[in-house]
Structure formats: structure tokens, C-alpha cells
Structure 1
């Protein structure tokens, strides 16, 4: 959990809340790692591979002239 603890955050919101956030972040990290392992065992694409496929689809939509939400367009065109 210390990996996710931020002294700057603790200074801004207090030690207790920062500790809670660090614990939630550690749990989330564990859950994501577990889900990635299950996906791999099932032969499914990684989160990164799936995201790249999604970005490619949105890039194609942009190339075809579709207007997308600015945040979605920025995400699709990053890298």
C-alpha cells in the first residue's frame, strides 16, 4: 500500500483520507492484475490490445468525417 501513498495528497486532504485512497488504489491494482491473468488464461486480448483496437475503430470514424466527443477524439489520436 505504501507504493500508492502520496505525501502531497496527505498534506492536502489529511492522512486518514490519503491512507484510504492508497488502500483503494492497492485493491484496484490487485483486481486489475487478477482480471488480466484471467483474460490471458482464457486466450482473450489484453486490456492494452483491446484499447488499441478501440482506438483504431475511432480513428477510422474520424477519418470518415464523423464528429466525436472532443475527449474521445483526443484519446483516440494520442500516441
Structure 2
């Protein structure tokens, strides 16, 4: 958690399924709150552990691509 607080320069994209019964969504919310960098949180309704992309593919892709476009710099 300390590393998350210290990070000010690397943007972080958080994705989590709200039906995850292995890693509680509260843990991702806690990490999101502690993150000191620019960040975005994508929650997939009804998605279990590791299934955010499969359950909400179009929304997840759109959110991730928007995040990457915002934070990637061309060389």
C-alpha cells in the first residue's frame, strides 16, 4: 500500500468484477483510494474473479483504450 501512495507518476487502471468471491471488490477500492497517481476504476457488474473483460468486453475495452489514449505519449 505504501508503494501505491508513493506512486505519483505512473497512471493506474483498476478493473474488478463486483461478483468476485476470491478477491473482494473492497480491496480494489482500497488500493484505488490509496493510489497517488492518476487513476481510473472499471467495475464489471456480475463479473467474478478475473472475468471483468469477458463479462463486460465492450465497456472494458472502451474504458481501457480511453485510459491508454489519455496516458500514452507518442515517441
Provide TM-score, normalisation by structure 1. 0.27
Give the structure with the larger helix fraction: 1
Give the structure with the larger strand fraction: 2
Provide TM-score, normalisation by structure 2. 0.28
